[in-house]
Amino acid sequence: MGAQWRPGKRLKAACIDPNFSQNMNTNAASATDSIIVACPQCHSVVRTPSDRVGEHPKCPKCKAQLLDGHAIALDAASFATHTSKGSLPVLVDFWAPWCGPCKMMAPVLDRIAQQRATTLQVGKVNTDEQQELAGRFNIRSIPTVILFHQGREVGRQSGAVDATTLSRWLDGVLPR
């Protein structure tokens, strides 16, 4: 038999197997009491109570901090996990290491990642290494940032911008 729940035992975060289907009797309130986040290190999908996101929850699998306020390097596999399986919006920066405007955007994206750590994930896709992803999203100029929520593109911004402009743009396109 597996581990059993005991009164007083509290679960901080739990890995979710995307291939496992549960039939649980839950109400809408309990479903909104947690968020689903992809771990920035091992890319496991983790459920954590939404009222505890400010307490720096950790991945139960690799022990990495889930919402650490840093941009995550994404490849094809981790891109799908972060943009489609998590409940937080993901701002993805399509960039290249030789691109001057991309280098100017890096500190702006780092600041956004820190300021919005509990409400938004920031990912980075190196278009030289991930040409298939760049082609799939029709990236024609870099830097280009695309905001994804629940697997869908909800906004796109091309060109280097300052932190204020990017924050205003995010406020206008983020789901409410």
Q: Calculate the CA 28 to chain-centre distance.
A: 23
Q: Are strands 144-149 and 152-158 parallel, antiparallel or unpaired?
A: antiparallel
* Catalytic-role residue among 15, 39, 59, 102: 102
* Strands in 74-120 per DSSP E: 90-95
- Quick check: is 39 catalytic? no
* Catalytic-role residue among 42, 59, 62, 99: 99
Q: Give the Cα separation of 143 and 97 in Å (integer).
A: 11
Residue 80 burial by Cβ neighbours in a 10 Å radius (0-12, 13-18, 19+):
middle
Catalytic residue list: 99, 102
